[in-house]
Chains A and B, each alone.
Chain A
Amino acid sequence: MTMKSTQNNLPLQEISHESDLDKNFGKHIAKMAHGEKLFGCIQCGNCSASCPMSVYMDHTPRKIIAMIRAGFRDEVLSSKTIWLCASCYNCTVECPKGIKITEIMYALKRDAILTKNYPKGFPIPILSRTFYNEVKRSGRINETSLLMKYYFSYNIFKSLGYAALAIKLFFTGRLILFEKGIKNKAGLKQMLSSSKN
């Protein structure tokens, strides 16, 4: 089977031998997503048809399910598709086989982060990580602090496009500069287990 990745700016990898496939990948993802049903996919394409993001994706949701099953591990994990999934649950509601596609996309995001396979420099994983750390630190999200940190790790110049909006939000009292976070930060820390996923 030959399969060439067409996405921009991403390392291209060509799979030309069965031996390049990771046969256990499907089982691994099914376990992470609590979704053995993924093996029952009939490739009907309802998920892709109902997905508002599929036109922007490098692989449609239907294709991603097929690729997971076949073991195209690196292609799947480094795709932009999984990060473009906005978790809108359209696919999950429309799948005739009860496959929890949204949860599979989440599992892929986690696996891509764990194995450091996500597209480098792509903004969405950076926002997720920044958000995660902000909550861990203070217990609540302060949008000002979140976005400052995000633009700092992503691209500080991109924030300039939002300066005018930030000023308007500030003057309508919608941009809070300081947020002291929750009282019982130790209690929240206890909820964060050390487990990796």
Chain B
Amino acid sequence: MSRIFDVAVIGGGPAGLAAAVSASENGASVALIERESRLGGILKQCVHDGFGLIRFGQKLAGPEYAERYIELLKNTKTEVFLTTFVTAVKKADFGFSIAIVNKEGISHIDTKTIVLATGCRERTSKQVLIQGTRPSGVFTAGVAQNFVNLLGKMPTKKCVILGSGDIGLIMARRLTLEGAEVEGVYEVKPTPSGLTRNIHQCLFDFNIPLHLSTTVTRVFGEDRLNTVEVAQVDEKMKVVEGTERIIECDALILSVGLIPENEIAETLDVKINNATKGAECDQTYMTSVDGIFSAGNALNVFDLVDYVSESAQSAGASAADYQGTKREYIEIERGKGLLSFVPTRLDILGKLDKVILFFRAARDMDKAKLILKINGEIKLEKKFSYLRPPEMQRLELDLQNYGLDGSSKVLLTLEEGWN
């Protein structure tokens, strides 16, 4: 009879590493499956520092952070499958059968539970509307990062960056340090989408201009891009005529956001949350499908890798503990002022004393107040001096003494103004 793992973790980035380590430490037999030839996920190409301040109390570079976890993994009995691609997952009476492809051919890994830790992907030019030809020279910030930091190759001499997401800001600095000219960063919204500190240390430190309420309207070039047109937009995101400007450059780099990678989740009919675009999950990180857990950026774009690891550590422990015990769910309703949060639902039969809530505000707010209402009654309030959508917040909630039952209505809202 073939072997059945207690937990199979799909994805060997920081989320998968933390999930595998914690599942092992909780006594589970663990398989970790990664399609690339080495572990670390996207951190391998994030050579800048700023990772691990919360988890390790130190400012680490991405690969350094990954290596810490790879060392922790070596102390466990986790079986690691590298250069192994998951093609499909099927339900079975024992749990799940994962179809894989690697250099030994096609086979399968059987497991009782799965942690999905497949990370996120970048939005591409298909998701932003730009007119003109389709020359080469239009790529995402992550692709540029891969070129420079993993291959040691420069993809541009002079570029324009569209979107003010953090990866774009980080790459503006990186490309400038390597001798390229970054003509400017263009953001269609009136506020930047990246962290304020990145606007300062990546753009302003290097005199790279940030143009808000401005977008790229056209691209030109035969084989290779040679010109882009930018223009300002009004409050309705309509181009303001007469503000068009032509910029000569050899690349347009897109940094227009990240979305959770849900390919496998969708084949399993895992419910997807509208706000996070990742799986619906309860406080143990279990999705709507029993035995399937989700963690890291596959669940919710966390940005901060420390939070990725924390969520994955819980997901791994939950998967190891999984007994198929009955659960009863209530959804947490998203009220005004909130962009997204996890968990999106609560298992009221499970532990409710230490629920970790991660949330983002829908807009910039000063003196903001997070309010938790149960059946219309305010149960909890938490004040924040200011909140920005790019900065995810973490809060530990004790919900065990509110008498939650299957008919309870739980509502989260953010309000502005307190004294």
Same complex: no
Chain B residues engaging chain A, CB cutoff 8 angstroms: none
Q: Which residues of A contact B (CB under 8 A)?
A: none
